[in-house]
């Protein structure tokens, strides 16, 4: 009986695969099947987004129409409402045809899941369809100058002024804060008790009077982050997500998603470049009696490649565990910790393989900005040390201080 | 590609092995065997019981009287053996011996031996190593002769369970240079035959190894496993089987040493607090947790790859053996260090894990050997 059901499900999945393949073939513009080479190739959406070309706009519209910018989200908010299996089939077919992601956004990867879990009906109706269609670009207001690893000590305050909250303070490390339309923001609404218990989760428009941003220039030369200032910003009370003073729970839920994303980011990066580090080294340094000519570097490259392969297999295993219905929430810290440390190792080895050639900076530089950028991987989204703390406490159940 | 998560059958099988290992071959049994200077080095009764459940024939196909659970099955047994430091001839006989016969044995060999191995009545051992650092093709033992008859001369070391084996599989050079992969032939040798001397070697993990001396030992072409001069293709498969099963055992050792250490960190008090509350120890434990989890993924994948005879199986075996050797080294060293003084005492079991981890790592290539081999297989 159950075997028959499975076969039936398999058959309909195969039919879905065929129709999806045909639809993608017919609807994904050729330009959207080229590899992503620069930031402008990534479609972030939003009120002020400049499409690089018509194809990028069309691709977003067509996919959003079907809800396939967020294949598994519910139909009533514009999602595709696909089963996990069908979602996987869609991704596999997209990968096979080299289709780019139609939309990349923090609305999809971070806020959306939290809205679906903690938002009320009105909030979901208001915000989710705009995320699905890429109309509103969101940013995250978490870290503050005085609250980094110790995020819960944040001081940006929201005072109850009857029909609205009055927000004052500042956030730092706001990714694309100068390009975002709305912010999801942790604010303090109670100073009296335990620091985690006085935090609330607010959503507001970045065009609200009193919001300003200032880009932060990084060691890599890039400025993807801003410091964001709030000076008497009025936020309607309807924009509180979840309960008052219960924002920490939402914040943690959302961080779990962010961690998996950052941990996995390197994997994409590593598999995207079809060339392994070993192959790059052979091309650059050459072989001597069949072995990479520099033996100490060869050993480190082999160790990196082995660890990277073990990590990729572990990502696959965790995904399979999740599919089998086993608990994997605690694994996100492991993936974040190990994945980002691997990223850093790869970038350092890439620098070593290139030697002085890899030092180029400015327009021609590739390896050096990447090397510098990856330094942040083990800091953003919770430092490696914080991840180890979480593993020790939540997974290994070691005693607290 | 199979899922990296155990299916229901595999989970049930693992649970059965787990229960058996804890009840019938725990660490205390290994200690007893050591302290009594047991001449066999494992319990023949326990091996009979294991054979009764099909585990001695885990790799033997059903047509020859085994259960045919493949390397995945062997790996699941080996992991529990690692957790309990159980002394059994699983590796020597049921894995190395059986793989050699499956890969290179004649029909007559298979008919005669496989069923006997699966029933636990017969033990095989692989006599191939001649030097300490693993170098599989460094074979100086010679087989000379003509007209279907050979004379074997040479010395073999680190022959696992060699002193109790009923048959030896011996690698010998029939042509080419001492270091060459070509020109090696495998022979089935009766240890009772004239000219064979077997001497047990005492090694650090209190397990079984022997030195084998061959002096004008007569064998015939009927005793060849595989083909003349082409024994390396069988030997490679046998060694990969041994490596992946050792990797599974090392995973079990690392996991058990780690769990025992966690228990100690939660209980032991110094400076008025549990030592597990110290961040210096927490971070090391958390890092080790990640390393062990990554090792589990590669061991499972390598076992699957061998079962599926995948083209990249050898690369995955390298990855598994290198990583498992290194992580078991780390886990057992951290275990002794975090246990402090008591970890250095013979009365306490944790040191046994470190000793066995070292012996299993050195057998058939350690992390250095397999890192080098991984790079070579990857084209650099």
Q: Which helix (H) or strand (E) holds A199?
A: strand A199-205
Q: What CATH number labels B125-230?
A: 2.40.110.10
Q: What is the mean pLDDT of residues A340-368?
A: 93
**B374 contacts chain A (CB < 8 A):** yes
pLDDT, one tens digit per residue, over B41-87 is 999 999 999 999 999 999 999 999 999 999 999 999 999 999 999 99
Euclidean distance between CA atoms B92 and B364, whole angstroms = 12
Task: Please give the structure tokens belonging to residue A130.
Answer: 């705009």
Fold of domain B233-377: Butyryl-CoA Dehydrogenase, subunit A; domain 3 (1.20.140)
Task: Please give the structure tokens belonging to residue A68.
Answer: 């396939």
**Tokens 């066995």 -> residue:** B356
pLDDT reported for residue A257: 73
Task: Please give the structure tokens belonging to residue B322.
Answer: 């290198």
The domain segmentation of chain B, as residue ranges, is 8-123, 125-230, 233-377
Q: Which chain B residues touch A309 with a CB distance below 8 Å? A: 298, 319
- Cβ proximity of B257 and B331 under 8 Å: yes
Pairing of strands A138-141, A182-188: parallel
Q: Between B372 and B4, whose confidence is greater?
A: B372
Q: Could you give the C-alpha distances from B263 to A200, A401, B260, in angstroms and in order?
A: 38, 17, 5
Euclidean distance between CA atoms B176 and B297, whole angstroms = 40
| pTM greater than 0.80 | yes
Res A265 pLDDT > 70:
no
CATH numbers and ranges of domains, chain A: 9-105 (1.10.540), 138-245 (2.40.110.10), 250-395 (1.20.140.10)
Q: Which helix (H) or strand (E) holds A348?
A: helix A331-354
- Cβ proximity of A65 and A51 under 8 Å: no
B124: β partners: B167
Q: What CATH number labels B8-123?
A: 1.10.540.10
Q: Within a 10 A sphere around the Cβ of A349, how many other Cβ atoms?
A: 21
Q: Which chain B residues touch A302 with a CB distance below 8 Å? A: 371-372, 374-375, 378, 380
**B289 contacts chain A (CB < 8 A):** yes
Euclidean distance between CA atoms A381 and A257, whole angstroms = 10
pLDDT, one tens digit per residue, over B205-218 is 999 999 999 999 99
pLDDT reported for residue A331: 86
Contact across the interface for A338 and B294, Cβ inside 8 Å: yes
Q: Which chain B residues touch A279 with a CB distance below 8 Å? A: 379-380
Contact across the interface for A302 and B374, Cβ inside 8 Å: yes
Q: Hey, is B349 helix, strand or coil?
A: coil
**B285 contacts chain A (CB < 8 A):** yes
Q: Which chain A residues touch B285 with a CB distance below 8 Å? A: 392, 396, 398
Q: What is the mean pLDDT of residues A152-168?
A: 97
Q: Find residues 34-53 of chain B whose CB sits inside 8 Å of chain A.
A: none
Measured between CA atoms, how close is A334 to chain B, in angstroms? 6
**B293 contacts chain A (CB < 8 A):** yes
Q: Nearest 5 degrees, angle CA B339-CA B352-CA B14?
A: 100
pLDDT, one tens digit per residue, over A181-232 is 999 999 999 999 999 999 999 999 999 999 999 999 999 888 889 999 999 9
Q: Looking at chain B, which residue has its C-alpha nearest residue A300?
A: B371
Res A262 pLDDT > 90:
no
Measured between CA atoms, how close is A398 to chain B, in angstroms? 6
Q: Find residues 326-385 of chain A whose CB sits inside 8 Å of chain B.
A: 326, 331, 334, 337-338, 385
**B273 contacts chain A (CB < 8 A):** yes
Euclidean distance between CA atoms A322 and B305, whole angstroms = 22
Q: Find residues 275-304 of chain A whose CB sits inside 8 Å of chain B.
A: 276, 278-279, 281-282, 287, 290-292, 298-299, 301-303
Res A272 pLDDT > 60:
no
pLDDT reported for residue B372: 98
Res B16 pLDDT > 90:
yes
**Tokens 């009287």 -> residue:** B65
User: How would residue B1 be classed by pLDDT, with cut points 50, 70 and 90?
Assistant: low
Q: Looking at chain B, which residue has its C-alpha nearest residue A324?
A: B5
**A388 contacts chain B (CB < 8 A):** yes
Residues 6+ apart with CB under 8 A from B316: B298, B301, B302, B305, B310
Q: Looking at chain B, which residue has its C-alpha nearest residue A282?
A: B380
Contact across the interface for B297 and A316, Cβ inside 8 Å: yes
């Amino acid at each position: 009986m159950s075997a028959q059901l499975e076969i039936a499900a398999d058959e309909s999945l195969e039919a879905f695969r065929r129709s999806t393949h045909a639809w993608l073939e017919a609807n994904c513009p050729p330009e959207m099947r080229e590899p992503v080479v620069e930031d402008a190739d990534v479609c972030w959406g939003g009120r002020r987004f400049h499409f690089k070309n018509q194809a990028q706009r069309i691709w977003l519209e067509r996919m959003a129409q079907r809800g396939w910018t967020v294949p598994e989200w519910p139909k009533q908010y514009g999602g595709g409402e696909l089963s996990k299996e069908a979602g996987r089939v869609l991704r596999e077919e997209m990968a096979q045809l080299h289709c780019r992601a139609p939309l990349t956004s923090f609305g999809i990867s971070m806020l959306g899941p939290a809205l679906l879990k903690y938002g009320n009906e009105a909030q979901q109706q208001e915000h989710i369809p705009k995320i699905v269609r890429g109309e509103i670009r969101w940013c995250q207001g978490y870290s503050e100058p005085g609250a980094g690893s110790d995020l819960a000590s944040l001081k940006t305050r929201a005072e109850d002024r009857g029909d609205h909250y009055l927000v004052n303070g500042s956030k730092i490390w706001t990714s694309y804060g100068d390009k975002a339309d709305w912010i999801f923001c942790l604010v303090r609404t109670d100073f009296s008790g335990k620091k985690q218990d006085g935090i609330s989760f607010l959503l507001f428009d970045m065009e609200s009077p009193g919001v300003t941003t200032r880009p932060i220039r990084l060691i890599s030369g890039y400025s993807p982050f801003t410091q964001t200032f709030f000076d008497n910003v009025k936020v309607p009370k309807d924009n509180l997500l979840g309960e008052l003073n219960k924002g920490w729970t939402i914040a943690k839920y959302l961080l779990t998603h962010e961690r998996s994303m950052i941990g996995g980011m390197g994997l994409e990066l590593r598999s995207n470049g079809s060339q392994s580090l070993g192959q790059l080294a052979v091309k650059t340094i050459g072989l001597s009696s069949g072995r990479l000519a520099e033996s100490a570097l060869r050993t480190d490259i082999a160790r990196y490649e082995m660890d990277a392969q073990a990590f990729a297999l572990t990502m696959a295993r965790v995904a399979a565990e999740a599919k089998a219905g086993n608990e994997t929430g605690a694994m996100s810290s492991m993936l974040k910790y190990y994945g980002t440390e691997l990223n850093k190792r790869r970038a350092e080895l890439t620098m070593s393989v290139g030697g002085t050639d890899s030092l180029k900076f400015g327009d021609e530089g590739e390896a050096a900005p990447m090397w510098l950028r990856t330094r942040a991987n083990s800091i953003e989204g919770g430092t490696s040390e914080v991840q180890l703390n979480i593993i020790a406490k939540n997974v290994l159940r070691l005693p607290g201080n | 590609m199979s899922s990296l998560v155990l299916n229901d059958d595999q989970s049930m099988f693992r649970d059965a092995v787990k229960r058996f290992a804890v009840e019938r071959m725990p660490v205390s049994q290994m200690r007893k065997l050591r302290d009594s200077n047991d001449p066999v080095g494992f319990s023949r009764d326990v091996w009979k019981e294991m054979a009764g459940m099909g585990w001695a024939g885990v790799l033997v196909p059903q047509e020859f009287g085994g259960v045919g659970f493949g390397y995945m099955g062997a790996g699941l047994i080996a992991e529990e053996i690692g957790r309990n430091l159980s002394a059994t001839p699983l590796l020597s006989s049921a894995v190395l011996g059986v793989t050699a016969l499956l890969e290179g044995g004649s029909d007559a060999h298979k008919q005669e031996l496989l069923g006997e191995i699966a029933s636990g009545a017969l033990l095989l051992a692989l006599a191939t190593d001649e030097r300490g650092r693993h170098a599989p093709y460094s074979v100086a033992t010679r087989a000379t002769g003509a007209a279907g008859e050979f004379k074997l001369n040479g010395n073999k070391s680190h022959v696992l369970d060699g002193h109790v084996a009923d048959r030896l599989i011996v690698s010998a050079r029939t042509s080419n240079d001492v270091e060459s992969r070509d020109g090696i032939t495998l022979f089935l040798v009766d240890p009772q035959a004239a000219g064979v001397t077997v001497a047990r070697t005492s090694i650090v993990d209190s397990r079984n190894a022997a030195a084998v001396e061959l002096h004008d030992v007569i064998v015939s072409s009927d005793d060849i496993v595989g083909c003349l001069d082409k024994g390396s293709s069988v030997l490679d498969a046998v060694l990969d089987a041994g490596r992946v099963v050792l990797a599974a055992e090392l995973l079990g050792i690392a996991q058990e040493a780690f769990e025992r250490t966690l228990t100690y960190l939660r209980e032991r008090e110094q400076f008025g607090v549990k030592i597990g509350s110290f961040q210096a120890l927490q971070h090391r434990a958390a890092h080790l947790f990640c390393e062990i989890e990554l090792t589990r993924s590669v061991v499972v994948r390598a076992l699957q790859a061998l079962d599926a005879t995948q083209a990249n199986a050898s690369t995955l075996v390298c990855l598994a053996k290198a990583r498992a050797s290194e992580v078991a080294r780390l886990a057992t060293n951290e275990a002794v260090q975090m246990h402090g003084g008591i970890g250095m005492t013979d009365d306490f079991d944790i040191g046994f894990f470190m000793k066995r981890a070292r012996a299993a790592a050195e057998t058939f290539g350690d992390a250095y050997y397999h890192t080098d081999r991984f790079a070579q297989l990857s084209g650099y």
